[in-house]
Structure 1
């Protein structure tokens, strides 16, 4: 350890080398990241203290820059878990990189109010000193037209729903998620058993693509498909499910939107014995999985979407790492057996 003490300036790289870990792990410990074991963090901070490591030295040229402002316009969804986890991911990045004057200004716009998001975006572009924009576009065509003149002026990342192949994106492959749901439920049902499909429309973020992927995959099975039946809202969906379950021997149900609200309200006796699949995660979905009503759900790593988008934006602004890549978020299949209680 003496050889390190005698170094004029101790770096994260030197600490990492001494401990046999990556520099990224050292940086996370020093910046207070959640993504590191407490035992590892303690070892890193102890060694950093012994070596008189100065946190501000690494990247000091970045830390001394003027404040960089990134507006984050995310969607406020019926599924509060989705919104809160996106925001938590963004806030985690903001905290980790606060030393560099990296300021994320987060605003959630109601998912059914795309016009409000458009008005807010216009105001930000007109009035604010903005270095970057992270956005879940609620009206892709209009948002694209507004932002196109700014593609070479500010850094832009879409999140959740891809805005354009010309700019960077973080989010899942919703079509693939729909296909995953169909593939798994098809193995739960026998040939000729009835599967009811309810279409509650496109929320402009994911539900339309969920259904597209589900239908493309399920058509290659011998399951008896009833639907998709267009309902468009919770009340009509409940009525349709009741009616169809009386008329037909339904063994499975798939709903692309409002599923958790529908299953919360509907008479559970109607659902007993049926294979039910949904998307996303929330407290009510957990309860329905525990009770055996929902067979499984497919969820994306929402927290990591926010975190990765914020980190990617940091790289673009401070290191001029320009990309138009799509960072595909991981998807998880959650059954009762792997449900986090």
Structure 2
């Protein structure tokens, strides 16, 4: 079968190649009558555009890079689904990369993406990331960049985050209003800005009610066995009424520790956690959660990135937010 090209369509129609190309791209410069003729012939002859040639002509790769801290985390799976949806709508390819919480790997990924050809980058930083050198490389190359969820503050970069401070504050106020006084906070990975905001929301609520006790804040690490021992020590020595987990993994650890100690949830101790995992409602007892609109975050971040890709000159910096939802279940009643 003969390969139908733009040139061939132009020859048959007696038009120039640029005119046929503009007609197929719905250009305002071309009359509706001409557009219809071009479309009908293209359909009849089964014309298939060459996306790679089009990308070269426009100096676009039709590809964006997505960098997440971990692919196994259900929250980032939801985000990726949202990103893919918008990429598909724009007929873009998506390169998905995981830093595995390593700052070194994140920097390497960014170097590779900026050395190759991507039209934009979506980035959620690794827990260990503590400098901006690799991000400066993106900015220096003038590659559109949007941060999401975990962001490095004070950078001239657009971002999409959730109200971690407000949701932690709301949940803590509710716990206090229910009569709880000794509310412990398990703080995961000190380097993460979103965890710091959750801690500050928790502290603000306690301070307003006059119950702030920093002895009930426990730093957690990446090592699960160490965290289990720290939770066990907290429960046996400080005897909190509630444990507020800054990430879902710590809630699982807390449930395991309570089982080992023979403690019943919520009769002996209550638990609430930040979690997007659908299994939370199936735990015994069902876990009270603060969840973020991960899919919406992925959609908004990608839409924002495409805005920047379309813009000429310096991009407008936007700071967008998605909502959080507190769902109270049996574990905190």
Question: 1:278: which partner in 2?
Answer: 273
Assess, with a 3 A threshold, how the Cα gap between structure 1 residues 96 and 261 changes in structure 2: closer, same or farther: same
Range 251-260 or range 273-282, more displaced: 251-260
How many residues end up aligned between the 2 structures? 267
Deviations 1:14-40 (A, max 9, x none): xxxxxxxxxxxxxxxxxxxxxxxxxxx
Question: 1:103: which partner in 2?
Answer: 93
- Decide whether the 8 Å contact of 2:71 with 2:77 is kept in 1: no
Assess, with a 3 A threshold, how the Cα gap between structure 1 residues 279 and 168 changes in structure 2: closer, same or farther: same
- Decide whether the 8 Å contact of 2:68 with 2:124 is kept in 1: yes
Cα displacement (A) at 1:235:
3.1
Match of 2:124 among 136, 161, 175: 136
For the residue of structure 1 that corresponds to 2:285, the secondary structure is coil
For the residue of structure 2 that corresponds to 1:206, the secondary structure is helix
Determine the C-alpha separation between the residues in 1 that align with 2:196 and 2:71: 15
Cα displacement (A) at 1:137:
2.1
The answer to whether 1:71 aligns with 2:65 is yes
Instruction: Flag structure 2 segments of 5+ consecutive residues without an equivalent.
Output: 1-25, 27-53
The answer to whether 1:267 aligns with 2:254 is no
RMSD over equivalenced CA pairs, Å: 3.1
Deviations 1:46-98 (A, max 9, x none): xxxxxxxxxxxxxxxx99955432111112066x2112101111111111121
Determine the C-alpha separation between the residues in 2 that align with 1:237 and 1:141: 23
- Poorly superposed stretches of 4+, deviation over 6 Å: none
For the residue of structure 1 that corresponds to 2:209, the secondary structure is coil
Cα displacement (A) at 1:205:
5.2
Question: 2:23: which partner in 1?
Answer: none
Cα displacement (A) at 1:158:
0.7
Assess, with a 3 A threshold, how the Cα gap between structure 1 residues 237 and 220 changes in structure 2: closer, same or farther: farther
Cα displacement (A) at 1:299:
1.2
* Superposition map of 1:114-263 within 5 A: 114-126=103-115, 128-138=116-126, 140-142=129-131, 144-151=132-139, 153-163=142-152, 164-190=154-180, 193-202=181-190, 204=192, 206-223=194-211, 225=213, 226-232=215-221, 233-247=223-237, 250-257=240-247, 258-263=249-254
The answer to whether 1:315 aligns with 2:307 is yes
Range 239-248 or range 158-167, more displaced: 239-248
Cα displacement (A) at 1:140:
4.9
Deviations 1:140-179 (A, max 9, x none): 543x223325426211111112234411101113233332
Cα displacement (A) at 1:222:
4.2
TM-score under structure 1 length normalisation: 0.68
Determine the C-alpha separation between the residues in 1 that align with 2:251 and 2:71: 13
Answer with 1 or 2: which has the greater Rg. 2
Assess, with a 3 A threshold, how the Cα gap between structure 1 residues 129 and 194 changes in structure 2: closer, same or farther: closer
